Amino acid sequence: MTPAICRQWALSSLIYLAAVMVGCTTAPDARPTLYEQLGGNAGVEQLMSDFIREIAADERIKGRYRDSDIGRFHRMMQLQMCELTNGGCRYTGDDMRRTHGGMNISRVEFNAIVEALMRAMDKNAISQGVQNRVLSLYAPMHKDIVGI
Amino acid sequence: MPIRFTRLVLLLALLTAIAPVVAAPGARIIATGGAISVEGAAGGGIVPWSLLAGYGENQQFGGTAWYTQVQPSDFRLQAYGAAASLHNRVELSLGKQRFDIDQVIPGEVLEQTIIGAKLRLAGELIYSDMPQLSIGLQYKSNTRFEIPEAVGARDENGLDFYIAASKLWLDGPFNRSFFLNATARATKANQMGLLGFGGDRNNARKLVAEISTGLFLTRNWVIGAEYRQKPDNLGFAGEDDWYDVFIGWFPSKRLSIIAAWSDLGSIAGLEDQKGAYLSLQFSQ
**Interface ipTM:** 0.88
- CB within 8 Å: A136 and B170: yes
CB B16 within 8 A of CB B255: yes
Taking the C-alpha atoms of residue B247 and residue B230, their distance in angstroms, rounded to an integer, is 23
CB A118 within 8 A of CB A131: yes
Taking the C-alpha atoms of residue B272 and residue B284, their distance in angstroms, rounded to an integer, is 37
* pLDDT, position B1: 42
- CA dihedral of residues B219, A131, B170, A55 (deg, nearest 10): -80
* pLDDT, position A148: 86
Taking the C-alpha atoms of residue B53 and residue B31, their distance in angstroms, rounded to an integer, is 10
* pLDDT, position A47: 98
Comparing CA positions, the residue from B141, B44, B129, B49 lying closest to residue B91 is B49
Taking the C-alpha atoms of residue B118 and residue B85, their distance in angstroms, rounded to an integer, is 9
pTM above threshold 0.95: no
Taking the C-alpha atoms of residue B254 and residue B31, their distance in angstroms, rounded to an integer, is 10
- Count of beta carbons in the 10 Å neighbourhood of residue A87: 18
CB A104 within 8 A of CB A147: yes
* pLDDT, position B16: 58
What spatial distance separates the first Cα and last Cα of chain B, rounded to whole Å?
27
Sign of CA dihedral A3, A5, A9, A15: positive
- CA dihedral of residues A19, A21, A26, A31 (deg, nearest 10): 120
* pLDDT, position B187: 98
* pLDDT, position A1: 46
Minimum CA–CA partner of A115 in chain B:
B29
Query: What size, in residues, is chain A?
Result: 148
Taking the C-alpha atoms of residue A101 and residue B90, their distance in angstroms, rounded to an integer, is 28
Comparing CA positions, the residue from A90, A86, A105, A92 lying closest to residue A144 is A105
Gap from A68 CA to chain B (nearest CA, Å): 24
**E strands present in chain A:** none
For an interface test with A, the pick among B55, B170, B177, B253 (most A C-beta atoms closer than 10 Å) comes out as B170
SS3 A83: helix
Say yes or no: A115 contacts chain B, CB-CB below 8 A.
Answer: yes
- CB within 8 Å: A108 and B57: yes
- CB within 8 Å: B27 and A132: no
- CB within 8 Å: A107 and B176: no
Which residues in chain B touch residue A142, judged by CB atoms under 8 angstroms apart? Answer: 124, 127-128
**For residue A6, is pLDDT > 60?**
no
Taking the C-alpha atoms of residue B251 and residue B30, their distance in angstroms, rounded to an integer, is 9
Characterize B252-276 residue by residue with b for buried, 16 or more Cβ atoms within 10 angstroms of its Cβ, and e for exposed.
ebbbbebebebbbbebbebeebebe
- Band of pLDDT at residue A24, cut at 50, 70 and 90: very low
* pLDDT, position B260: 98
Q: Which of A111, A136, A146 sits opposite B171 (nearest CB)?
A: A136
Q: Which of B58, B59, B170 sits opposite A135 (nearest CB)?
A: B170
Q: Which helix (H) or strand (E) covers residue B256, if one does? A: strand B255-263
Q: Which helix (H) or strand (E) covers residue B281, if one does? A: strand B274-283
CA distances from residue A127 to A54, A119, A136, B149 in whole angstroms, order as listed: 19, 12, 14, 56
Say yes or no: A128 contacts chain B, CB-CB below 8 A.
Answer: yes
**For residue A4, is pLDDT > 60?**
no
CA distances from residue A32 to A11, A25, A136, B260 in whole angstroms, order as listed: 34, 19, 18, 38
Taking the C-alpha atoms of residue B174 and residue B184, their distance in angstroms, rounded to an integer, is 29
SS3 B60: coil
Comparing CA positions, the residue from B247, B253, B248, B221 lying closest to residue B16 is B253
Residue B25: DSSP 8-state: P
**E strands present in B73-156:** 76-86, 90-100, 109-122, 132-142
Q: What is the pLDDT along chain B (284 residues), one digit of tens a residue?
A: 444 656 666 666 666 565 555 678 999 999 999 999 999 999 999 999 999 999 999 889 999 999 999 999 999 999 999 999 999 999 999 999 999 999 989 999 999 999 999 999 999 999 999 999 999 999 999 999 999 999 999 999 999 999 999 999 999 999 999 999 999 999 999 999 999 999 999 999 999 999 999 999 999 999 999 999 999 999 999 999 999 999 999 999 999 999 999 999 999 999 999 999 999 999 99
Q: Which of A111, A132, A143 sits opposite B171 (nearest CB)?
A: A132
Q: Averaged over A22-40, what is the pLDDT?
A: 76
